[in-house]
C-alpha cells in the first residue's frame, strides 16, 4: 500500500498552510489586493522513486498518485479506481473539443539539431515536442488540474455555487488563453479572457470560435505597475469569478499539472544515460516551476535547470542576482519586494509568449536552480531569432518563436562557452505550435 504524502499547500512567502482537502484553495489565505506577494506550493510531494506508473498513455492517469489532485480527491472519499475514471471522463470531454486528449508527447535525441549544434555522438540535444499536445502547447497540462479540481468540487457538493456557476477568468495573450478556452468549452463552463490590445488576430479568432468572452485591456492612467490584463483579471476575480490561469500566485493548482511534463521527460529519458541540463523558457514561470518540481520529486541527480528569458524582458535573472546579494537564492520568498518587481521597459521579443513583465512563480524556479546547480540564461534577441530559424529549418517541428526560446538559451550558453557541452545530454521543450 502506498500512502499519500501530499498533505497540504504552504505559502512560500508567509508560511501559511492550507490542508490539501480544502476545496478551492487557489491562493494563500493571507494574500489580498494590497499584498499579492504570496504563492502556495504543494508540501511533501511523494517520491517518484519506487513509484509504479499506471499503464496508460495519459500522463494524468500514468502519474495519478503523484498528483496533489489525487490526494485531494482521495481525502473526499473516492477510491483509486473512481479517481482514475474521473480523469478519463474529463479527458474524453477535452478530446471532444480539442480533437485529442492528453497523451504522452514525444521526447527524443534530435540527430540533425545535435549535429548542427556541434554535439558529439555520446551526447546530444533532446527535444520534447509539445506542439501536438491539447490546444497546441504545454499550457493545457497546467489547466487540466485546475479543471479536475473545479469539476470534482462541484460534483461532490464542495463548492458554494450550486447551479449558478461563476465565470472562469484568465489573463493571457496566447497559448494559455486558447488552452483555457478549450478546457472550459469541454465542460460548457463560461470563460472570460483578458487580452492586450496587441493580441494576435489568429488567437482572437480561435478564442471566439471556442466561445470565450473577450475583454481587450488598455493601460489606464491610474494603473499601478504591472500587466493591465492581469490587473483587470484580478479585479474581476475579486468580484467572484474563478481564476483559471497559469500563474501559481492566482491559482496554485496550475502547478500540479505542470509537473507532469517533467515526470514524463524523466521517464522517457533512458536510465542508462545522464541528462546534464534542461533549458526552459520562462514567462510567468509556472512551466519551469513544474519541471523543477519534477526533478525534485523524481530525486534526479546531476541535471541542472536553466531558466531562459530574453534580453527584452528578464525579471527572473534580475531576481536571481538580487537574491544572491540579499541572502541566497534558496527560499528567497520572504524577500519578494527586494528581488522581483515588474520589468520597467515595455517588454519586446520575437518570443512574445514569454514577455510577462513579472515572473510570478520565481521562488520555486530559484529554488530548483539552486538545488540542481543551474542558473538563469538571458538570450540576446539575435539568439531568439537564430533558434527559431534553426528549429523551423532543421527540426521538422512547426514550433513558434516562444516554443523554441529554450533552444535560444542553449545557444547563448554555448556562445558564452560556459562548459564542455559537446558530450552532454541537454534537453529543451518545443512548447508551442506556430499558429498561422
Ligand X SMILES: Cc1ncc(COP(=O)(O)O)c(C=O)c1O
Which residues in this chain contact ligand X in the complex, by CB under 6 A?
A: 137, 174-176, 246, 281-288, 353-354, 356, 402-403, 431-432
Closest CA to 61 of 128, 145, 157, 151: 145
Q: Which of ligand X, Zn ion, none does 11 bind, CB closer than 5 to 8 A by kind?
A: Zn ion
Choose, by CB under 5 A, the member of 6, 9, 13, 278 that binds Zn ion.
13
Closest CA to 400 of 177, 180, 205, 136: 136
Q: How far is the CB of 8 from Zn ion (least distance, A)?
A: 13
For Zn ion, give the closer residue by CB, 338 or 422. Answer: 338
8 A C-beta contact, residue 179 and residue 210 = no
Q: How far is the CB of 347 from ligand X (least distance, A)?
A: 12
Q: How far is the CB of 115 from ligand X (least distance, A)?
A: 25
Beta strands in 137-294 (DSSP E): 168-171, 191-196, 213-217, 242-243, 277-281
When CB distances to ligand X are compared, the closest residue is 432
Choose, by CB under 5 A, the member of 9, 20, 28, 140 that binds Zn ion.
28
When CB distances to Zn ion are compared, the closest residue is 11
**Residue 32 interacts with Zn ion (CB under 5 A): yes or no:** no
For Zn ion, give the closer residue by CB, 285 or 432. Answer: 285
In sequence order, the 6+-apart residues with CB closer than 8 A to the CB of 144 are: 60, 90, 94, 102, 134, 183, 257
Task: Assign 151 to helix, strand or coil.
Answer: helix
Q: How far is the CB of 195 from ligand X (least distance, A)?
A: 13
Q: How far is the CB of 229 from Zn ion (least distance, A)?
A: 24
For Zn ion, give the closer residue by CB, 28 or 178. Answer: 28
Long-range contacts, stretch 188-196, CB < 8 angstroms, 24+ apart: 189/150, 189/165, 190/165, 191/167, 191/244, 192/167, 192/168, 192/236, 192/241, 193/169, 194/169, 194/170, 194/229, 194/230, 194/232, 194/233, 194/236, 195/171, 195/229, 196/227, 196/228, 196/229
Q: How many CB atoms lie within 10 A of CB 307?
A: 32
Q: Which of Zn ion, ligand X, none does 329 bind, CB closer than 5 to 8 A by kind?
A: none
For ligand X, give the closer residue by CB, 154 or 200. Answer: 200
8 A C-beta contact, residue 419 and residue 348 = no
**Whole-number Å distance between alpha carbons of 51 and 70:** 15
**Residue 414 interacts with Zn ion (CB under 5 A): yes or no:** no
Map residues 169-188 to x or -, x wherever contact with Zn ion holds by CB under 5 A. Answer: --------------------
**Residue 11 interacts with Zn ion (CB under 5 A): yes or no:** yes
**Whole-number Å distance between alpha carbons of 359 and 107:** 27
- E strand or H helix at 43, and its extent? strand 40-43
**Whole-number Å distance between alpha carbons of 227 and 347:** 11
**Residue 335 interacts with Zn ion (CB under 5 A): yes or no:** no
The CA-to-CA distance between both ends of the chain, in Å, stands at 50
Q: How far is the CB of 17 from ligand X (least distance, A)?
A: 25
8 A C-beta contact, residue 226 and residue 196 = no
For ligand X, give the closer residue by CB, 159 or 278. Answer: 278
Q: How far is the CB of 258 from ligand X (least distance, A)?
A: 7
Segment lying near Zn ion (by CB under 5 A), choices 15-23, 160-168, 245-253, 382-390? 15-23
For ligand X, give the closer residue by CB, 46 or 285. Answer: 285
Q: How far is the CB of 118 from ligand X (least distance, A)?
A: 25
**Residue 38 interacts with Zn ion (CB under 5 A): yes or no:** yes
- E strand or H helix at 114, and its extent? helix 111-116
**Residue 36 interacts with Zn ion (CB under 5 A): yes or no:** no
**Whole-number Å distance between alpha carbons of 260 and 254:** 11
Choose, by CB under 5 A, the member of 5, 22, 30, 373 that binds Zn ion.
30
Q: How far is the CB of 161 from ligand X (least distance, A)?
A: 28
Q: Which of ligand X, Zn ion, none does 284 bind, CB closer than 5 to 8 A by kind?
A: ligand X
Interface with Zn ion by CB under 5 A: which residues?
Answer: 11, 13-14, 16, 28, 30, 38
Amino acid at each position: 500500500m502506498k500512502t499519500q504524502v501530499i498533505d497540504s499547500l504552504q505559502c512560500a512567502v508567509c508560511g501559511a498552510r492550507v490542508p490539501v482537502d480544502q476545496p478551492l484553495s487557489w491562493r494563500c489565505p493571507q494574500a489580498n489586493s494590497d499584498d499579492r506577494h504570496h504563492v502556495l506550493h504543494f508540501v511533501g510531494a511523494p517520491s517518484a522513486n519506487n513509484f509504479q506508473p499506471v499503464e496508460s498513455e495519459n500522463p494524468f492517469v500514468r502519474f495519478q498518485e503523484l498528483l496533489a489532485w489525487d490526494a485531494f480527491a482521495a481525502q473526499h472519499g473516492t477510491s483509486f479506481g473512481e479517481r482514475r475514471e474521473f480523469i478519463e471522463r474529463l479527458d474524453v470531454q477535452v478530446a471532444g473539443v480539442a480533437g485529442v486528449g492528453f497523451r504522452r508527447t514525444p521526447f527524443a535525441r534530435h540527430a540533425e539539431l545535435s549535429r548542427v549544434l556541434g554535439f558529439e555522438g555520446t551526447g546530444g540535444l533532446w527535444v520534447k515536442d509539445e506542439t501536438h499536445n491539447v490546444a497546441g502547447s504545454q499550457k493545457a497540462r497546467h489547466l487540466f488540474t485546475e479543471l479536475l479540481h473545479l469539476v470534482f468540487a462541484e460534483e461532490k457538493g464542495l463548492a458554494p455555487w450550486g447551479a449558478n456557476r461563476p465565470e472562469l477568468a484568465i489573463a493571457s495573450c496566447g497559448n494559455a488563453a486558447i488552452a483555457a478556452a478549450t478546457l472550459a468549452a469541454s465542460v460548457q463552463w463560461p470563460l472570460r479572457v483578458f487580452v492586450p490590445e496587441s493580441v494576435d488576430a489568429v488567437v482572437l479568432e480561435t478564442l471566439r470560435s471556442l466561445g470565450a468572452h473577450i475583454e481587450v485591456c488598455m493601460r489606464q492612467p491610474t494603473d499601478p505597475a504591472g500587466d493591465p490584463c492581469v490587473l483587470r483579471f484580478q479585479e474581476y476575480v475579486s468580484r467572484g469569478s474563478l481564476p483559471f490561469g497559469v500563474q501559481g500566485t492566482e491559482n496554485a493548482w496550475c502547478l500540479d499539472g505542470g509537473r507532469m511534463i517533467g515526470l514524463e521527460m524523466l521517464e522517457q529519458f533512458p536510465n542508462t544515460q545522464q541528462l546534464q541540463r534542461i533549458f526552459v523558457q520562462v514567462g510567468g514561470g509556472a512551466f519551469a516551476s513544474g519541471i523543477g518540481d519534477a526533478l525534485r520529486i523524481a530525486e534526479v541527480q546531476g541535471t541542472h535547470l536553466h531558466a531562459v528569458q530574453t534580453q527584452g524582458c528578464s525579471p527572473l535573472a534580475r531576481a536571481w542576482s538580487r537574491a544572491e546579494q540579499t541572502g541566497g537564492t534558496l527560499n528567497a520568498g520572504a524577500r519578494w519586494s527586494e528581488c522581483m518587481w515588474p520589468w520597467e521597459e515595455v517588454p519586446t521579443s520575437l518570443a512574445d509568449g514569454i514577455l510577462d513583465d513579472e515572473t510570478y512563480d520565481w521562488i520555486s524556479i530559484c529554488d530548483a536552480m539552486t538545488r540542481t546547480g543551474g542558473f538563469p540564461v538571458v538570450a540576446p534577441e539575435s539568439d531568439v531569432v537564430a533558434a527559431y530559424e534553426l528549429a523551423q529549418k532543421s527540426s521538422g517541428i512547426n514550433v513558434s518563436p516562444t516554443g523554441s526560446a529554450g533552444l535560444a538559451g542553449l545557444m547563448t550558453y554555448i556562445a558564452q562557452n560556459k562548459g564542455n557541452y559537446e558530450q552532454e545530454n541537454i534537453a529543451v521543450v518545443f512548447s508551442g505550435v506556430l499558429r498561422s
